[in-house]
Structure 1
Amino acid sequence: MTEKTLAAVATGTKQTEIKEVALPDIESAAGILKVEIVGVCGTDVSYYNDLKAPMILGHHVVGHIHKIGEAASKRWGVQEGDRIVMEEYIPCGQCELCRTGLYRLCPDTNPKVDGIRYGATPIDIEPSLYGGFSQYMYLHPNAVIHKLPDHVPAVEAALALPLSNGFEWMRIIGGVGPGSIVVIQGPGQQGLACALAAKAAGAETVIMTGRQSSLERLNLALELGADYIVNVSSENLAERVKEITNGKMADLVIDVTSGGTDPVVSSLESAKTGGLVLLGALKGKRFNDFDLDIIYNKSLTIKGVRGHSYKSVQMAVEFISSGKFPLAKMNSHNYPLNETDLALRTAAGEMDPSRLLVTVSPWQ
């Protein structure tokens, strides 16, 4: 008899259904993961709100190896029962981008050009189990995985990918280290991850910004190690940064907000001459009447940042495993599989505007 798993299949816009999906017979180079917990990402919400084809969402996945082929076991260095963190990418491994470490940009990982990716692959692509909102998930031969110690609490383990973005952008790309002054625009998952990564790297001053509606998250940023918060609903960011830094301004400013272009402008204003401004969120808007001379006059470097590397995920796993930070505070809601719809609506801010990390535990 064919073994089956329960999965929350997104079947329409803002709609999921619990369905039985057959577990595949795996070849030597593949495997099956028993999903332990899945973090709900903003990308999941965007697919949920505008679904193009039925799929199993969820890509911040933690689980245990359920079945593993002989070749996959040797290649990944894992065996049945091992606990792992999944990356969402399924790269080809052969193109120039993959060969130079930029596999997150490999066309094979881009669903918009017929690539496949965990949490973004239609169920009509066999064997269908490409999403974490399921009791079991298919381990593709080209999957990228990381071993994780058993002592890490599940809700903290689910932070591995958001935290890896923080380490990628702050340490690997941003070069943050002792003495650095960092401004982080937006106290969501990505912003809090950047704050943690910056402090772990030894930054002297970390300033987190947010609106009045994000006051609870701003206060959490202080608990997690940020040095200052700025409420941009009532304070001028550049003026506050000048005051806090005694006129030095910021070595690095990152915008991970999703609303409007104002944070981009204030980021440029808050950076020091010769500073670095990172843009880590889509805006969907064009600038009007923007004075480009600020970039020239301050000799700023502006760079778009997206995703993580193998190294930054390893950094995140080691950081989480150390137990030095109260990461469990970042988890605000954990739902069972049959409440995946509620989890997605919560992550979208429909149920609780102060939500933080939302997770789904398929066996709960």
Structure 2
Amino acid sequence: MADSEMTAIVCRAPKDYRVERVQRPSAARNELVIRIAACGICASDCKCWSGAKMFWGGPNPWVKAPVIPGHEFFGYVEELGEGAQEHFGVQKGDRVIAEQIVPCAKCRYCKSGEYWMCEVHNIFGFQREVADGGMAEYMRFPPTAIVHKIPDGISLEDAAIIEPLACAIHTVNRGDIQLSDVVVIAGAGPLGLMMTQVAHLKTPKKLVVIDLVEERLALAREYGADITINPKTDDALETIRSITDRYGCDVYIETTGAPAGVTQGLELIRKLGRFVEFSVFGADTTVDWSIIGDRKELDVRGAHLGPYCYPIAIDLLARGLVTSKGIVTHGFTLEEWDEAIAVANSLDSIKVLLKPK
């Protein structure tokens, strides 16, 4: 029957993503099926599409194709399996989102509340063992999914950035920003621009954003950056030294996805500073690690996913303290996938959404 199928993007191999008709998911006990309203294309989706080693390399590649990609999704509850209404606390028609990771609920990290570091580490859109992703008309939430309701007052575009905004909040929190801090955010892509908005709410002494694209730096200033730096025309090191009595910044958040963002940060940050690494890299990064210990004794912190931050993201959007305006730049249907990934993989866009018909 026609209604037993749906349109979806199917990842089969690097640069082999196809628009296909596939079986529509159904909900078993304690499961949901949602009708997708929108699904963003993440920088990690672009790197996965292009064949980056971290997704496809090694004996146990992270991506297990074929799989429907997409982890920046939200939608409407379409079907409730037996017990799912009580299990998730939702009803048919509710607008909902699930966190991007599907915890196993059994490993040491899940049992200790550190579920975002789950040892099994199934993430929607990369492995089909638990569930496909959101680049489709419908998707299934398994029983261990972490589900949140989205208030009606939040726009489609704002709802579509809840997942990356949660990641941005977690990253900024990892920086432990203080009122006296000079904070540098390197990279003004979608995540960097959301981090700028969140870091501005922390009211540091100075908030600095670095990027190579002037239009993105202009947005960063709108979002609260005190100073913006374009390394093509500005001397980043001299600028940071001039506002820090020559010491360097207190917090450096790396979200460029380029190795140069790491080496730049190690130069700009002061001794005993806090270096937060968020990016997913498409190439190896090589640095002189002695600067971390012997020369500066840095506090280097990773930031992964958005644990415990989805409710905060939803609240900030509901209160109008963070916005997608200026960040969400393009929308395409599933059938327009080839154009969508090309635009998402270019500097012509910031955030691209897929919107099923």
**TM-score, with structure 1 as normaliser:** 0.87
Whether contact under 8 Å (1:133, 1:340) holds in the other structure is no
Offset from partner CA, 1:248-288 (integer Å, 9 cap, x none): 5322101111222x322321222233210112224432426
Whether contact under 8 Å (2:46, 2:345) holds in the other structure is yes
Alpha-carbon distance change, 291 to 95 in structure 1, aligned in 2, over 3 angstroms: closer
Instruction: Please say if 1:16 is aligned against 2:22.
Output: no
The secondary structure found in structure 1 opposite 2:234 is coil
Q: Distance in 2 between matches of 1:42 and 1:324?
A: 24
Write the letter of the residue equivalent to 2:302: G
Q: Distance in 1 between matches of 2:112 and 2:343?
A: 38
Alpha-carbon distance change, 277 to 66 in structure 1, aligned in 2, over 3 angstroms: same
Instruction: Please say if 1:327 is aligned against 2:329.
Output: no
Whether contact under 8 Å (1:121, 1:130) holds in the other structure is yes
Q: Distance in 2 between matches of 1:83 and 1:159?
A: 14
Aligned to 1:176: 177
Instruction: Please say if 1:147 is aligned against 2:149.
Output: yes
Q: Distance in 2 between matches of 1:246 and 1:13?
A: 48
How many angstroms does 1:333 deviate by?
Answer: 0.7
Q: Distance in 1 between matches of 2:292 and 2:5?
A: 59
The secondary structure found in structure 2 opposite 1:327 is coil
Aligned to 2:274: 276
Offset from partner CA, 1:73-131 (integer Å, 9 cap, x none): 2122111111112222111112211122322221222xxxxxx4211124xx58xx612
Q: Distance in 1 between matches of 2:258 and 2:246?
A: 28
How many angstroms does 1:326 deviate by?
Answer: 4.1
Instruction: Please say if 1:199 is aligned against 2:203.
Output: no
Give runs of aligned pairs for residues 218-237 of structure 1, distance below 5 A: 218-237=217-236
Instruction: Please say if 1:160 is aligned against 2:190.
Output: no
Write the letter of the residue equivalent to 2:126: A
Whether contact under 8 Å (1:15, 1:341) holds in the other structure is no
Alpha-carbon distance change, 331 to 75 in structure 1, aligned in 2, over 3 angstroms: same
Whether contact under 8 Å (2:44, 2:280) holds in the other structure is no
Identity score, percent = 26
Offset from partner CA, 1:13-55 (integer Å, 9 cap, x none): 3243332222344222111011000111112122222376222
Give runs of aligned pairs for residues 240-319 of structure 1, distance below 5 A: 240-247=239-246, 249-260=248-259, 262-283=260-281, 284-287=283-286, 290=288, 292-293=290-291, 295-309=293-307, 311-319=308-316
How many angstroms does 1:293 deviate by?
Answer: 4.1
Aligned to 2:353: 359
How many angstroms does 1:201 deviate by?
Answer: 2.2
Alpha-carbon distance change, 325 to 106 in structure 1, aligned in 2, over 3 angstroms: closer
Instruction: Please say if 1:83 is aligned against 2:95.
Output: yes
Write the letter of the residue equivalent to 2:268: S
Alpha-carbon distance change, 295 to 354 in structure 1, aligned in 2, over 3 angstroms: farther
Write the letter of the residue equivalent to 1:192: L
Whether contact under 8 Å (1:3, 1:22) holds in the other structure is yes
How many angstroms does 1:177 deviate by?
Answer: 4.0
Stretches of structure 2 that go unaligned for 5 or more consecutive residues are 57-63
Alpha-carbon distance change, 276 to 317 in structure 1, aligned in 2, over 3 angstroms: same
Aligned to 1:64: 76
Alpha-carbon distance change, 234 to 200 in structure 1, aligned in 2, over 3 angstroms: same
Alpha-carbon distance change, 92 to 340 in structure 1, aligned in 2, over 3 angstroms: same
How many angstroms does 1:236 deviate by?
Answer: 2.5
The secondary structure found in structure 1 opposite 2:253 is strand
Whether contact under 8 Å (1:216, 1:354) holds in the other structure is no
Offset from partner CA, 1:201-221 (integer Å, 9 cap, x none): 22232100012xx11111111
Write the letter of the residue equivalent to 1:100: S
Stretches of structure 1 that go unaligned for 5 or more consecutive residues are 110-115
Instruction: Please say if 1:118 is aligned against 2:124.
Output: yes
Aligned-residue Cα RMSD (Å) equals 2.1
Aligned to 2:61: none
Whether contact under 8 Å (2:25, 2:139) holds in the other structure is no
Aligned to 1:33: 34
The secondary structure found in structure 1 opposite 2:342 is helix
How many aligned positions are there?
Answer: 344
Whether contact under 8 Å (1:217, 1:354) holds in the other structure is no
The secondary structure found in structure 1 opposite 2:164 is helix
Q: Distance in 2 between matches of 1:253 and 1:291?
A: 16
How many angstroms does 1:291 deviate by?
Answer: 6.7
Alpha-carbon distance change, 13 to 94 in structure 1, aligned in 2, over 3 angstroms: closer
Write the letter of the residue equivalent to 1:320: L
Write the letter of the residue equivalent to 1:14: K
Write the letter of the residue equivalent to 1:203: P
Q: Distance in 1 between matches of 2:126 and 2:16?
A: 15
Whether contact under 8 Å (2:266, 2:291) holds in the other structure is no
Partner residue of 1:130 out of 129, 132, 138: 132
Offset from partner CA, 1:309-364 (integer Å, 9 cap, x none): 0x212211111111234422111111111112221121111xxx23101100012x
